[in-house]
Amino acid sequence: MNKVKKEEEKFSPSGIFEGMVSLDAVIKSIESGNSDRRIEKVYFDRERSEKKQRELSYIKRKQQQYGFELILTDRDTIDTMCIGNSHGGIVAVCSERSYPTLTEESFTENGYYIMLDGIEDPYNFGYAVRSLYAAGVGGLIIPPRNWMTAAGVVCRASAGASELISMYVCEPENAAETAKKRGYSVICADIKDSVSVYETEIKKPLLLIVGGEKRGISRAVLDHADKIVRLDYGREFKAALSAASAASILAFEIARQNGFNK
């Protein structure tokens, strides 16, 4: 498989999870009840079985528990299945995961949720999810058209966080309306009529909505906002940050204001 074709495949539906970190995240998500994904097959590079006895033993234990097929094979076979080359000789074939529709009951008391809309590729989406999970975001809301069709790519980019975080599907305007009904503040990231995120109080419970750098957030969603916040730059710079970068910075600032691990 040539490099161009592999690059194209990152935008295709995929249940291929590359590497032990991704596989472990899938398993933990299943065990926690967060995911209904099923592991169907795990391919393991037989030449690495001596050096990776701990990983192989772990996979064999989980095989007995979940009944998937474990296939010892060669590196070339695994390479042809993967987009990247950081799989470490382990790749899993998994079923799709279903994502519940957002309801008022989806929001916990005094929670902290983020909606991402408009991120342009699955790698950037995965990088954003990694940061949001690390920042302590309680749940992620995504639009019906989203990058979780390429779940394996997103999982690898997010270091497994996309499997561990709770996700819900909803249109942005409906998400804002639902959050308000639950007693949540709705915070939107935009420029017009905004205040600096560093100069305003943002307290839980809240829903932060971050739009893509190309389309931004619609007027209908902004009309639901209790506050519109912006990120101030360290120098004059006319370009917008990527949605993934902006979401990450905002998430950690909100976590700082509300207290980490609270």
| CB 250 within 8 Å of CB 229 | yes
Distances (CA, A) of 110 to 47, 138, 168, 179, 226: 50, 10, 18, 11, 16
For residues 134 and 239, membership in a common domain is answered with yes
Note down the domain range covering 49: 3-94
d(CA 161, CA 148): 12
For residues 111 and 228, membership in a common domain is answered with yes
Q: What are phi and psi of 143, to 5 degrees?
A: -70, 165
At 117 the pLDDT is 85
For residues 210 and 112, membership in a common domain is answered with yes
Residues of the chain falling short of pLDDT 70: 1-13, 213-214, 262
At 197 the pLDDT is 96
| CB 189 within 8 Å of CB 250 | yes
Q: CATH number of the domain at 85, please.
A: 3.30.1330
For residues 24 and 67, membership in a common domain is answered with yes
Instruction: Give the number of other Cβ atoms within 10 Å of residue 101's Cβ.
Output: 11
For residues 66 and 27, membership in a common domain is answered with yes
* 99 within some domain: no
Q: In which residue are the tokens 């209904």 written?
A: 36
At 8 the pLDDT is 52
Q: CATH number of the domain at 220, please.
A: 3.40.1280.10
Q: CA nearest 214: which of 132, 125, 120, 128?
A: 120
Question: What is the per-residue pLDDT across 35-69, written as a single tens digit (0 to 9) for each?
Answer: 999 999 999 999 998 899 999 999 999 999 999 99
For residues 184 and 121, membership in a common domain is answered with yes
Q: CA nearest 76: which of 19, 1, 23, 20?
A: 1
For residues 60 and 160, membership in a common domain is answered with no
At 1 the pLDDT is 45
| CB 213 within 8 Å of CB 171 | no
At 119 the pLDDT is 84
For residues 57 and 120, membership in a common domain is answered with no
Number of domains in the chain: 2
At 13 the pLDDT is 53
